[in-house]
Amino acid sequence: MSEESLLVAQDVYLKSGIHIGTKFRTKYMEAFIYKTRPDGLAVLNLQRIDERIKIAANFMGQYRTEDIIVACRRENGWKAARAFGKATGIRTYAGRYQPGTMTNPTLEQYTEAKLVMVADAWPDRNIVMDAASMGIPIIALCDTNNQANDIDLVVPCNNKGKKALGLMFWLLAREFLKAKGTIKSDAEYTEKLEDFTEE
């Protein structure tokens, strides 16, 4: 895989740990696993991560910004999810998503969506269940230990580390803005990676 065809330089990916999985691997994630390290951690295939980010961003680009919801229950991703929302204008739930928000019109915070993306299908299961029951497509960032039931598009990555989530949301925001035609090239992308990442 040539360096030029990746969304960012390979060492940027590697430094973020975006490819480092867990010691557990599900059958859903087998296709994305490159190898298992001597310490037992599964390592995700960088090329597959990269191509899935492009697919996810282009898929999201087919929807109006106001029709998408992004959810991240995991605290390590709150800063990244909020920065993603700010950069793209997409509604984000960093923290708790109340069950029924998309399915119960009597709730004060009731809202509608046509596409949902979650940082991790397990902690974000409330919105996954709501979206699945409504037939709304779901994109999920999935680590090696994730199940992919109800998920329409799996984006393999380390979905637990702050740096990995920061890079993931930063790249998704950039590629989404390109897919929408808001920016024409990477050079026009003014968001800083450090605004998405916590040290």
CB 48 within 8 A of CB 54: no
Question: What pLDDT, on the 0 to 100 scale, is given for residue 2?
Answer: 57
- Please state the domain count of the chain: 1
Written in H, E and C, the secondary structure of 19-36 is CECCCCCCCCCHHHEEEE
Q: What tokens does 79 get?
A: 């800063």
Q: Determine the Cα–Cα distance for residues 30 and 133; give it in Å rounded to an integer.
A: 27
Does residue 195 fall inside a structural domain? no
Q: Determine the Cα–Cα distance for residues 112 and 13; give it in Å rounded to an integer.
A: 34
pLDDT at 3 over 80: no
CB 179 within 8 A of CB 57: yes
Q: Determine the Cα–Cα distance for residues 17 and 185; give it in Å rounded to an integer.
A: 25
* Tens-place pLDDT, residues 45-81: 999 999 999 999 999 999 999 999 999 999 999 999 9
Q: Which amino acid appears at position 112 of this protein?
A: E
Residue 114 three-state SS = coil
Quick one: CA dihedral 156, 177, 134, 77, positive or negative? Answer: positive
Bridge pairing between strands 68-72 and 91-94: parallel
Does residue 197 fall inside a structural domain? no
Does residue 35 fall inside a structural domain? yes
Instruction: Say if residue 55 is exposed, middle or buried (CB neighbours under 10 Å; 0-12, 13-18, 19+).
Output: middle
* Tens-place pLDDT, residues 5-28: 899 999 999 999 999 999 999 999
Does residue 93 fall inside a structural domain? yes
* Tens-place pLDDT, residues 140-190: 999 999 999 999 999 999 999 999 999 999 999 999 999 999 999 999 999
User: 84 falls in which pLDDT band (50, 70, 90)?
Assistant: very high
Does residue 145 fall inside a structural domain? yes
Does residue 188 fall inside a structural domain? no
Does residue 198 fall inside a structural domain? no
Average pLDDT over residues 115-124: 97
CATH code for the domain in which residue 115 is found:
3.40.50.10490
Question: What pLDDT, on the 0 to 100 scale, is given for residue 9?
Answer: 95
Range of the domain at 132: 3-180
Does residue 193 fall inside a structural domain? no
